[in-house]
Amino acid sequence: MDAISQETTVGAAATRILADLVGIASLPGTPNAEVTDCLASELARPGVRFTTIKGPEGDRTNVFASIGPADRPGYILSGHSDVVPVAGQDWATDPFRLTAQGDRLYGRGTTDMKGFVACMLALVPEFLAMDLARPVHIAVSYDEEIGCRGVGHMIAALPGLCGPPMGCIVGEPSDLHPVLSHKGKLAAAVQFTGRPGHSSDPRLGLNAIYPAAELTLVLRDLAAQLEVEGPFDPQFSPAWSTLQAGVIQGGQAVNIIPALARLEFEVRTIPGVSPVDIAALVRAAAERIAADQRLGLAWEELSSYPALPPPEDPGLASLLSRLSGRAVQQSVSYGTEAGLFHAAGVPSVICGPGSITRAHRADEFITKSELGDCLSLLRRTVSELCCG
Ligand SMILES: [Zn+2]
């Protein structure tokens, strides 16, 4: 086959696989057998070592596949198979059917990030045909969109699946710019439980709204302290770790002593600051307030991932920049699984097709040319990293 017809064939394969993936409404927090079967049908072929790694939920799995020598360290290409819901969004097309209009392919997850996943899978026959001196691993996680809940189970299983990986490319949408870092995040909900009663005598109940309000002010003061005292990292905007109260709910009527109040907040931290440590300060304050007022307290972590610090060795990012013709970007405002790979000792760079500005919105799309650019970048990157 000549180069042009091979290019057309792999492009058509990527579009077909993308259509299959978009056709599955793989919402996070739900069983994912259908999307796992779809990935398996592309990966279960001679020469591919294919594994699924079940999460503790029992009904959803990560997918991990390796091509090339088993006994040598290699590189991971990483994506997630879940997509955010479409409820409340006004789509011009069926979000769960890939719809072509000109160069654009519309559908939920086209950019975030089934387009990248489709590119990895479409290249499997080419990876198999390459003379790989190092393995290439294809990793697809579940439940990324609700706080990177799935990938941790796959990362924990890595030592049994392959040699220590030399690097990881997380294909979140970055317009194929290699991205070095992002902030970490933790979101949590705090619920105070008091005692209801008639408002005519507030002494007869325990008002749960007051402690929620007190904790809100603790959050505000802690956020102000971080802004003034740092630590700071000028690579981010803002350059400090931030904290915000996002949702507050409580009470039923003005003449009932409110027995329940719930506060949801998030913290976003620069590299070197643990979101878990900041959240622990909030939790300690909540426990103090609850104990002082003899209230019930429930704490629920909603999502958490660590920051991705810039890599010590910029080699992988430089290679991606050279091969994509796109500049290295210092940081992005969104979070990814790259922070978790990094925390497990795998140097990680974010680099994927499409723009993050289209993600999570109505009429999400990717273009055929973006898929084509991603295919050629992955082909050349794997060839440089793993051959010879
Ligand atoms: Zn994503």
What residues does each domain of the chain span? 3-181+307-386, 184-305
pLDDT at 286: 98
Sheet order of strands, 260-269 included: 242-250, 260-269, 184-193, 296-305
- Calculate how far, in angstroms, residue 226's C-alpha sits from the geometric centre of ligand 1: 28
Residue 366 CA to ligand 1 center (angstroms) comes to 14
Ligand 1 center–CA 62 separation, angstroms: 15
Instruction: State the pairing for strand pair 242-250/260-269.
Output: antiparallel
pLDDT at 2: 65
Question: Residue 109 C-alpha to ligand 1 middle, in angstroms?
Answer: 8
CA of residue 292 to ligand 1 center, whole Å: 42
Ligand 1 geometric centre to CA of 123 (Å) = 20
* Of the candidates 141, 160, 157, 138, the residue with the CA atom closest to the CA atom of residue 149: 141
Query: From the CA of 174, how far away is ligand 1's center (Å)?
Result: 11
SS (H, E, C) 337-348: CHHHHHHCCCCE
pLDDT of residue 377: 97
Residue 4: its pLDDT value, please? 66
Residue 112 Cα to ligand 1 midpoint, Å, equals 5
Q: Give distance in angstroms: CA of 299 to centre of ligand 1.
A: 27
**What are the pLDDT tens digits along the chain (388 aa)?**
566 677 778 999 999 999 999 999 999 999 999 999 999 999 989 999 999 999 999 999 999 999 999 989 999 999 999 999 999 999 999 999 999 999 999 999 999 999 999 999 999 999 999 999 999 999 999 999 988 999 999 999 999 999 999 999 999 999 999 999 999 999 999 999 999 999 999 999 999 999 999 999 999 999 999 999 999 999 888 999 999 999 999 999 999 999 999 999 999 999 999 999 999 999 999 999 999 999 999 999 988 899 999 999 999 999 999 999 999 999 988 899 999 999 999 999 999 999 999 999 999 999 999 999 999 999 999 999 988 7
* 254 CA to centre of ligand 1 in angstroms: 42
Token pair recorded at residue 188: 């949590």
DSSP, collapsed to helix, strand or coil, labels residue 268 as: strand
How far, in Å, is the centroid of ligand 1 from the Cα of 290? Answer: 37
Q: For residue 195, report the distance from its CA to the centre of ligand 1, in Å.
A: 42
* 27 contacts: CB under 8 Å, gap ≥ 6: 82, 83, 84, 85
Q: How far is the CA of 144 from the centre of ligand 1 (A)?
A: 7
For position 5, what pLDDT does the model report? 72
Q: How close is the Cα of 113 to the center of ligand 1, in Å?
A: 5
pLDDT of residue 303: 86
Q: Please, are residues 282 and 218 in contact by the beta-carbon 8 Å criterion?
A: yes
Question: Separation of 2 CA from ligand 1 center, angstroms?
Answer: 34
Q: What is the pLDDT of residue 44?
A: 87
Fold of 184-305: Alpha-Beta Plaits (3.30.70)
Q: What is the pTM of this model?
A: 0.88
- How far apart are the CA of 176 and the centre of ligand 1, in A? 14
CA 333 to ligand 1 centroid distance, Å: 13
Specify the CATH number of the domain 3-181+307-386.
3.40.630.10
Buried b (16+ CB within 10 A) or exposed e, 358-383: bbbeebbbbbbebbbbbbbbbbebbb
Q: What is the pLDDT of residue 388?
A: 73
Strand spans (E) along 104-210: 104-106, 136-141, 167-170, 179-182, 184-193
**Ligand 1 center from residue 19 Cα (angstroms):** 17
- pLDDT computed for residue 9 by the predictor: 87
Residue 20 C-alpha to ligand 1 middle, in angstroms? 18
CA of 182 to the centre of ligand 1 (A): 14
Between the two ends of the chain, the Cα-to-Cα distance in Å is 23
Whether the bond into 120 is cis, omega within 30 of 0: no
